[in-house]
Structure 1
């Protein structure tokens, strides 16, 4: 049985907001756009794009300020949604299913609201509709671990995000996730800019009722990062 495309096409587009680096896995199948979380480049997704490319043409892009999407325009949620729409346009795709995780879920909602014709279906996972006091504490935690060496930061995030029972049961997964979430030093300024933008606050509630595509919202009952009550 096929396990999807072994390696992606790495591409770059240049638009009004600057350069955006992105990857494409597979071809000729229904398009699926992956939108990652805070400080994350496409490598966050690990093996997932390759596995999904058995069924989809998978696209993923680096947020402004990290990876192959250097500075240029300041990071905003709406601006990152514009970058996602530009990636779809560059690939000649009228619309796609869009999956956003954590901060990527906020971006995905902006994408569905601002570019409704581009989003066929929407999946939002582990994302809060607005900044809450708990969310402020989580962002303060991210500010503290961003000061650590990359490997230590990844391990600290895993210790915060997963219970001891989970890490004991799936040690291989946690080690892999820690490596994927380790922030390269060159990405630190961009990640801090994203963090500063989030700490100013957000509230998606005014736009959520205007999203017309089918949507699936995923929340973890025991998720320490994002309370299911505010998803």
Structure 2
């Protein structure tokens, strides 16, 4: 079970959920493109009880967070996350797990708010916004899958995210159910895509001085594994793990790999 909390930053009401008791370190989960913090709930259900206080962040424009109409950057989302961490975890730094776009936000968070971050797990992410053709093709599919009951639309989108296309619908069904029950903003999806297109951290990652676990699926068709290799090469304390027979949605396809990555940080 999780409890819902809110905090305000610069006139935007930010929502987050908390699971577990206050602990050290706190584990902060940042979701990927178009997703709220609730997209992590199936992962929490599959990995079982964790010895951490877990904070699930709703990026602005998703879930229960406010929906401002002005464009923003991923640095804006990082500043939002820093306020959530302070509100949900206190003064102690947190271990931050970012999936895909959430991993991009996590990089900005570590650069802009280093005292808030004890370690990073970057899952299927990138240091630049040079997304793959498969990702660009998926944008209209992602929007359609969120608002459509057409199984054919779901199937096309889901098959891009996991390695084994025959298992895609079953693996991602919990995520799609969550997305069906939450309000969806096409406009915010556009704002997030625009923010990702301007994402550039590759030349600044040398300033990140915390341990980092970079994990990627060898068969990722959304953000190719070369992106994670760049991350691991540019981050001074990074270790790269390439998962065989795995696609983009590691939290759904290989959930325990994220737990193992957190443990490898040694915090």
**Shorter-normalised TM range:** 0.7 to 0.9
Pair 1:221–1:186, CA change in 2 (3 A): closer
Residue in 2 that maps onto 1:4: none
Q: How does 1:13-92 map to 2 (within 5 A)?
A: 13-30=7-24, 31-49=26-44, 51=47, 53-72=49-68, 74-91=71-88, 92=90
CA contact (8 A) 1:46 1:180 kept: no
Structure 2: unaligned runs, 5 residues or longer: 229-267
Residue in 2 that maps onto 1:128: 126
Is the counterpart of residue 11 in structure 1 residue 5 in structure 2?
yes
Residue in 2 that maps onto 1:95: 93
Pair 1:135–1:109, CA change in 2 (3 A): same
Count residues in correspondence. 221
Q: CA RMSD in A?
A: 2.4
Residue in 2 that maps onto 1:172: 170
Structure 1: unaligned runs, 5 residues or longer: 1-6
Pair 1:204–1:56, CA change in 2 (3 A): same
Question: Partners in 2 of 1:195 and 1:11 — Cα distance?
Answer: 27
Residue in 2 that maps onto 1:3: none
